[in-house]
Structure formats: structure tokens, C-alpha cells
């Protein structure tokens, strides 16, 4: 981008002094990167101020020896500490910064990063230093065989309160979705560009990106990756994610089978219930014609109830069809976007 601090100040960009620990192996370019790069690295961060500088240093030590143009996209998911300032203090033209108005969650951060990325290949990793950037070349090599590649933290450096539930969910997800990988929760993943441009993330669906990609018809691979213990900061995921994870699995299963045809599931249920109600009603009508009193029979209420509920399910399916064809899932607000500043120049 620009090679001197004065040039940064002339552009009226806030700077906080370049820390002395930034490596010299990651040179500052004289021009903005072109609209197309070889590699985009997307890093969602939330209150990771103590990890930013070291993460950048580790990335540079790998990227500086790779013969690829790249961009590093930090998506600040509404941090309340100095994470945003730490990122802005890095004098590197390869860095792109997006800051959300508030904390919207990892899925929103990844979705935004996907849309902003310009690379032919995309790497996602967490900002807590538990993912090792040295794995990037291995991911890129594996992308020659698969459309996307997921990391597998074989020796996970987390407490059992996180590892045991994760193993259970991985087994359940593997069984339900049919995707034969071992670690759905790992945030360290690699994609060909065409994959991320066709995946729509919202809510908490980032855990099941491999399943969503597989459902789209893409091939999904996996490599073993090193996992480091967290040194700075605290984990952002508590016990509440267990229930969310299970509900998300139901969502993914529904999306994989009925996203584009919600009437098939709701209409199917509605038809069965409604048809049962009609059969019961016809049976009672025959009895009534034969002179049998049916006004005080519970079966009459059941028949009416099933018919009404059946009609409601079919209506629900039709409403789902309307929502499916009209909904825009971009429900985050961007407070700061270095892309917009770049284009303004």
C-alpha cells in the first residue's frame, strides 16, 4: 500500500504506532493489491487484542515464502476491547479490515468475509492462535483433490468439557449428513473460490459448512492439523453451544432436504393429517345417514381437528415457499470497511 508512516497520516487513516515486533519478512507493497489475488485468508475475531500481533507475525513467516499474492481479511465481530485498533496499527497493504456494529456471531463474520474475498483460494482460521498458519501450504495442496478441505484437530488442546461434546456431535453429524470427515467444528478450512460464493451462512451454521458444501455437490476432504492451547484471552463458546449445535443440526438436515421445497415436508404432513380427518369425517357421515347419532362422539372432534391441522400444515408449507424465494439473509451491519475506503481512493 504505502511504505512510510507519513503517507499513512496524509490519508487521514488512524494509526497507533507500528509495534516493533512486526516482522520484516512481510514487506509492505507500494500499491494496493489488485482486484484479484491468489489467496484470501479470512480471520473472524472477537476480543482477541492480545493475539493479533503474534498471529500476524506467524502468518507473515509463512506467506512471505509462498509464491502467491494474498490478502488477509480481519472481520472484527463487534469486539469491545482494542482488537480493532491492534489490527489497524499493522502497516500492511495486504490487510483488509471489516468491523461489525455489534457481535453478530461467527457465521455472519465468515459470510461477510466470503463476500468480500477476492482470492482464487480461501483459508479460514480462528484468531486465538490455536490454529497454526504453517498448515496453509498443505491445505492448498489438498485443494487440488477436493473443492474444500476441513482441518481435523486430532490432538485437540481443549478441556474435556469441550472435546467430549464435540466428538458426540461430530459422530451424529457424520451419520445424519453422510459427510465422512471427523471434525466439523474446526474453523481451519480451505476452499476454492467457487465454493464459498455458493454457500449462504446465517445463524450458527458455520459449524456445518462441510455439510452445506456437500449438499451443493462439492467434494469435501480433510487433513490433520496441529492444535495449540489458548494462551491469551478466553474461549467465546460455553455450554450453551451444545443446545445450539443440536438445533443447528436439525436446521442443516432440513435445509439439505427441503430448503428449496418446504411444501414437500409440510405439505406431506398436512396431507396425511388432512386425509385422515376426511376419512374419519366420511365414516361418521355414513353413520349419520344410517341414523346413528354422532354429535357426542369424540371421533367427530378428532376428524375435524385433523382436517383443520392438515390444512394449516399445507398453508405453512406455502408460506415457507414464499419466504424461500424472497428472503435476504444479510442481517449484519458493517460499521467500518477498509474495502470501501480503498475504492473511494
- As given in the structure block, the three cell numbers for residue 270 are 398436512
Q: What is the mean pLDDT of the chain?
A: 80
Instruction: Give residue 226's pLDDT.
Output: 87
Interatomic CA distance for residues 289 and 160, integer angstroms: 68
SS3 96: strand
pLDDT at residue 71 tops 90? yes
| pLDDT mean over 11-33 | 41
Kind plus residue range of the DSSP H or E element containing 241: helix 240-258
Interior CA angle at 237 toward 112 and 168, to 5°?
105
Rounded CA separation 246/218 (Å): 24
Contact of 78 with 100, CB cutoff 8 Å: yes
Give me the pLDDT at residue 238, please.
52
Residue 257 has pLDDT above 80, yes or no: no
Q: What percent of the chain has pLDDT over 70?
A: 72
Q: What is the pLDDT of residues 93-107, one digit of tens each?
A: 999 999 999 998 888
Q: What residue has cell string 502467491?
A: 68
Q: What is the pLDDT of residue 24?
A: 44
CA–CA distance, 25 with 215 (Å, rounded to integer)? 41
- Which grid cell is 257? 432436504
Please say whether the beta carbons of 189 and 104 come within 8 A: no
Can you give the pLDDT at residue 19? 43
Grid cell listed for 208 = 456445518
Write out pLDDT tens, residues 112-127.
Answer: 999 999 999 999 999 8
| Residue 250: per-residue pLDDT | 72
pLDDT for position 330 = 57
Nearest-CA neighbor of 32 among 62, 6, 7?
Answer: 7
Q: What single string gives the DSSP state of each residue in 110-148?
A: HHHHHHH--EEEEEE--SSS-B-GGGHHHHHHHTTT-SE
Cell of residue 309, nine digits: 391441522
Cα–Cα distance measured from residue 260 to residue 277, given in angstroms and rounded to the nearest whole number = 28
Residue 28: pLDDT over 90: no
The DSSP line for 167-207 is: HHHHHHHHHHH----S-SS---EEEEHHHHTT----TTGGG
Answer yes or no: is pLDDT of 153 > 90: no
Higher pLDDT, 22 or 47: 47
Per-residue pLDDT at 218 exceeds 90: yes
pLDDT for the residue numbered 57: 94
pLDDT category at 324 given cuts 50, 70, 90 is: low
Confidence band of 298 (pLDDT split at 50, 70, 90): confident
Q: What letter would DSSP give residue 323?
A: H
Cell numbers placing 222: 480433510
**C-alpha span between 318 and 312 (Å, rounded):** 10
pLDDT band at 313 (very low <50, low <70, confident <90, very high): confident
Q: Does the pLDDT at position 7 exceed 70?
A: no
pLDDT band at 227 (very low <50, low <70, confident <90, very high): confident
Whether 249 has a pLDDT exceeding 50, the answer reads yes
Higher pLDDT, 20 or 103: 103
Beta strands 70-76 and 95-100: pairing type? parallel
Element holding 57 (H helix, E strand): helix 52-63
Length of the chain: 345
Q: Which three cell numbers stand for residue 345?
A: 481512493
9, pLDDT greater than 50: no
Q: Which CATH number fits domain 5-259: 3.90.550.10, 3.90.320.10, 3.40.50.300, 3.40.50.620?
A: 3.90.550.10
Instruction: Give residue limits of the domains in the chain.
Output: 5-259, 262-324
Amino acid at each position: 500500500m504505502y511504505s512510510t508512516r507519513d503517507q499513512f497520516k496524509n490519508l487521514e487513516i488512524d494509526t497507533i504506532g507500528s509495534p516493533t515486533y512486526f516482522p520484516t519478512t512481510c514487506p509492505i507493497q507500494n500499491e494496493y493489491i489488485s482486484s484479484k489475488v491468489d489467496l484470501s485468508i479470512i480471520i473472524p475475531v472477537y476480543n482477541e487484542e492480545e493475539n493479533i500481533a503474534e498471529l500476524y507475525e506467524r502468518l507473515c513467516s509463512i506467506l512471505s515464502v509462498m509464491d502467491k499474492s494474498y490478502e488477509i481479511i480481519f472481520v472484527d465481530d463487534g469486539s469491545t476491547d482494542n482488537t480493532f485498533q491492534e489490527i489497524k496499527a499493522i502497516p500492511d497493504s495486504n490487510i483488509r479490515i471489516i468491523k461489525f456494529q455489534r457481535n453478530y456471531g461467527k457465521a455472519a463474520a465468515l459470510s461477510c468475509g466470503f463476500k468480500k474475498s477476492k482470492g482464487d483460494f480461501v483459508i479460514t482460521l480462528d484468531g486465538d492462535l490455536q490454529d497454526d498458519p504453517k498448515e496453509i501450504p498443505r491445505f492448498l495442496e489438498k485443494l487440488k483433490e477436493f473443492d474444500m478441505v476441513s482441518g481435523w484437530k486430532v490432538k485437540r488442546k481443549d478441556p474435556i468439557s469441550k472435546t467430549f461434546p464435540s466428538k458426540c456431535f461430530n459422530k451424529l453429524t457424520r451419520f445424519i449428513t453422510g459427510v465422512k470427515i471427523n471434525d466439523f467444528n474446526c474453523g481451519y478450512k480451505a476452499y476454492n473460490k467457487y465454493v464459498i460464493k455458493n454457500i449462504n451462512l446465517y445463524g450458527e451454521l458455520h459449524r456445518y459448512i462441510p455439510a452445506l458444501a456437500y449438499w451443493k455437490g462439492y467434494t469435501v476432504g480433510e487433513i490433520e492439523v496441529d492444535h495449540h492451547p489458548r494462551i491469551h484471552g478466553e474461549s467465546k463458546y460455553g455450554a450453551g453451544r451444545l443446545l445450539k449445535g443440536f438445533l443447528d443440526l436439525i436446521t442443516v438436515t432440513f435445509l439439505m432436504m427441503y430448503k428449496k421445497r418446504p411444501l414437500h415436508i409440510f405439505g406431506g404432513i398436512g396431507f396425511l393429517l388432512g386425509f385422515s380427518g376426511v376419512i374419519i369425517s366420511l365414516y361418521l357421515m355414513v353413520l349419520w345417514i344410517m341414523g346413528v347419532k354422532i354429535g357426542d362422539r369424540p371421533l367427530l372432534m378428532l376428524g375435524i381437528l385433523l382436517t383443520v391441522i392438515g390444512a394449516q400444515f399445507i398453508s405453512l408449507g406455502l408460506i415457507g415457499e414464499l419466504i424461500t424465494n424472497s428472503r435476504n439473509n444479510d442481517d449484519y451491519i458493517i460499521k467500518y470497511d477498509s474495502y470501501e475506503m480503498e475504492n473511494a481512493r
